[in-house]
Amino acid sequence: MRFFNNSIGKATGNSVFVFYLSFSRIFRQSCSKNRRFLCRRFAGEKIFDVDSGRETVSAAPNQHFTIIFNAFVMMTLFNEINARKIHGQRNVFDGLGRNVVFVGIWVGTFLAQVVRSVRPFPVLFAQCLSIS
């Protein structure tokens, strides 16, 4: 069994494990995610005008790491939408409304993350962010 295939098509029992197009998309998205993460991690306190939290030894939550975590969750949510089409289709929103369970889980996760970001929950190890 070969690992890559340059063609776009459906996998069969004796076909490839990962299509070249899928691999290139996964690789590009991971590079983009890492670039955004590292930018927020090392320049986030200057960009968002918050305390970096790197000088303290305590494990107390701060806004800088909360912003990083929220960005990671949002990138993962939008990756779920992009991952729906794997055979070279361009319109990732085509047929999105037909899958009510997917939309419900996605919207619920999005709203829970927004509420979790602006409301204080002592159990969650994050600091609240202001909307303004």
What ranges do the domains of the chain cover? 4-118
Query: Could you give the CA distance from residue 34 to residue 72 in angstroms, rounded to a whole number?
Result: 10
Q: What is the pTM of this model?
A: 0.67
Band the pLDDT of 101: cuts 50, 70, 90. Answer: very high
Q: Which amino acid is at 104?
A: G
Query: Could you give the CA distance from residue 103 to residue 10 in angstroms, rounded to a whole number?
Result: 25
pLDDT tens digits for 23-79? Answer: 777 788 889 888 988 888 888 888 888 777 777 666 666 777 788 888 888 888 988
What is Dmax (Cα atoms) for the chain? 55
